[in-house]
């Protein structure tokens, strides 16, 4: 029987970190542009967030995801 409280291991991969960093940059830029009243750049920031998601998916398919052959888990 497996421990239900154990860490499932998701999200600790180069693909996940890259996707999250790109999406955080897009979100931060979008927030700044929203406060500055620049709706076109807000939507461009939404596009950056979508690109981050796509890059994360591509990296996971290339083997950099949690169960990918190019991923090596780090000890805590």
The DSSP secondary structure of 9-61, one letter per residue, reads -TT-SHHHHHHHHHHHHHHHHHHHHHHTT-HHHHHHHHHHHHHHHHHHHHHII
pLDDT tens per residue, range 1-54? 455 555 555 668 899 999 999 999 999 999 999 999 999 999 999 999 999 999
Q: Where are the domains of the chain?
A: 14-64
- Overall pTM surpassing 0.85 (yes/no): no
């Amino acid at each position: 029987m497996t421990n239900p409280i154990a860490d499932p291991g998701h999200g600790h991969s180069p693909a996940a970190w890259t996707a999250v960093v790109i999406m955080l940059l897009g979100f931060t830029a979008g927030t700044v542009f929203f406060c500055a009243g620049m709706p076109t750049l807000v939507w461009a920031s939404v596009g950056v967030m979508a690109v981050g998601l796509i890059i994360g998916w591509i990296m996971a398919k290339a083997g950099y995801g949690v169960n990918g052959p190019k991923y090596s888990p780090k000890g805590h």
